[in-house]
Structure 1
């Protein structure tokens, strides 16, 4: 039994913003200086901070305690941790005069870039191993957590079920662990993760492998999840400084899934063709319409 739960480290940027109305005027100068450049503040000496904010060293010390730190040393440590998130989440991105700034253009162009880079990767990726494993699997478990990977785990399930493949998708970390403990030789786990660094997912995949499952990872090359995989399908994120649009990595992962599913279908051959015909027949009887409608909706 776990006797205590470690409290997560607080967000120093949010804490400074919340405390700002209650700070003294001199302390607010320190707050403004720090929020203007976290990385610079994290590396500056206490004397440099005081000089740049035009306050006393004692004011910097009081400020550190006012925002919940034991001393200036802890304040600087937390600032360094916050700065590691990326400056693009702290300050507006500079406008690029050579690009169309409309949301339609931004999204379209960034999707194109992500697909082009990942297309090159996928052309060099051997799909025979993972496709053969999925075509022959007794059971397929698809793991995805977070944003895009959660939705695409279900997407892969939707694709494989059309071929009569026994497949289930799981997004809950505890359920993934439970399912992993039931794995056996002949099972295949497909893990989706753009970062390849989600601790719970990695642990569940390692557990499934210990019980004999084959692991297919669609993730970042050289990530912990990639190193664990029996079959790796690499996906690389190309994120820009414009943080207000969804990640284009979803499109790259979807392209990888479509290639994988197509490879599986080709291996199943006529058996797969017959199941797709039945599905199309059942849908056309139900909804009508032309013969070029998709298998689904």
Structure 2
């Protein structure tokens, strides 16, 4: 059995500390090949003895043997998608959306947004419908980094929030069309209290783009020949992934995220045992 496959299969049976080692190897197998045991231990905050125990559980003689087996796996091969298939059609759609969004975004502007989020007291993530699910996901990410984040997915709650919000708070508003009336009204109401609004939308001449203090334009999937039910949030999620990654350049956020992920995984695997 390939070593990475074995590590993935055995993950639920590992101890909390051993899972930290396993995840690092699964996520960065090529980097681990260049490390010695002490470097890896320091990277994932475990002892050398923990790595030694983990290596034995994987059926390897020592850490060097583990690295040899990682090298023998070779690079991860991307499965080829047959041309003209449904899978190829969806892949092409996503590629177009992703490419066009990448052309629109400005990394310096996203870095400025990251500063705003980092310095705010609270961040309220607005989204209705499909954007509401994305808002909930983004708020959960921020919470795991120790940022006070609250998803707002219902118009009445948005109005209430905008009426009591503080000038040190921030609104992150998500809307593919940019014309969600209740969301825009709530965001505009909050601005009257000095609140900054970050708006991510797929339409430049939309109300959200115009009112946002920090507007971000993504590719609107409806502008591509798409007559099927395909994820309309893909472009917004791409931008949120970039913002998340930039936030995680902050050591404090990275440490908090690692800690919360560790707790969640420990609880998950404990309940499955």
Range of TM-score over shorter length: 0.5 to 0.7
Contact 2:113/2:198 (<8 A) preserved? yes
Contact 1:187/1:214 (<8 A) preserved? yes
Equivalent residues, number: 187
When normalised by structure 1's length, the TM-score is: 0.58
Q: Distance between the aligned counterparts of 1:101 and 1:277, measured in 2?
A: 41
1:259 aligns with 2:238: no
- Alignment-derived partner of residue 274 in structure 1: 255
- Alignment-derived partner of residue 63 in structure 2: none
Partner of residue 163 from structure 2, selected from 169, 176, 181:
181
Partner of residue 143 from structure 1, selected from 126, 141, 159:
126
> Superposed, which structure 2 residues align to 1:115-264 within 5 Å?
115-123=98-106, 126-147=109-130, 149-219=131-201, 220-239=203-222, 240-247=224-231, 249-264=232-247
Deviation per CA, 1:177-217, whole angstroms, max 9, x where unpaired?
11111111111000000111111111000001101211000
When normalised by structure 2's length, the TM-score is: 0.63
Contact 1:140/1:187 (<8 A) preserved? yes
Higher relative CO (CA 8 A, sep ≥ 6), structure 1 or 2?
Answer: 2
Structure 1 residue runs of 4+, over 6 Å off?
none
- Alignment-derived partner of residue 43 in structure 1: none
Rg bigger for which structure? 1
Deviation per CA, 1:118-170, whole angstroms, max 9, x where unpaired?
011124661132111111111110100122x1111011111101110001101
> Superposed, which structure 2 residues align to 1:6-155 within 5 Å?
102-123=85-106, 126-147=109-130, 149-155=131-137
Instruction: Note the residue ranges of structure 2 that are not aligned, 5 or more in a row.
Output: 1-81
Deviation per CA, 1:220-278, whole angstroms, max 9, x where unpaired?
3232111101111211214344422224x411110000111222232xx2221321232
Deviation per CA, 1:46-82, whole angstroms, max 9, x where unpaired?
xxxxxxxxxxxxxxxxxxxxxxxxxxxxxxxxxxxxx
Deviation per CA, 1:95-126, whole angstroms, max 9, x where unpaired?
xxxx9554322211101110011011124661
Gap change, CA 1:119 and 1:241, over 3 Å in 2: closer
* RMSD, aligned CA: 2.1
Instruction: Note the residue ranges of structure 1 that are not aligned, 5 or more in a row.
Output: 1-98, 290-297
- Alignment-derived partner of residue 68 in structure 2: none
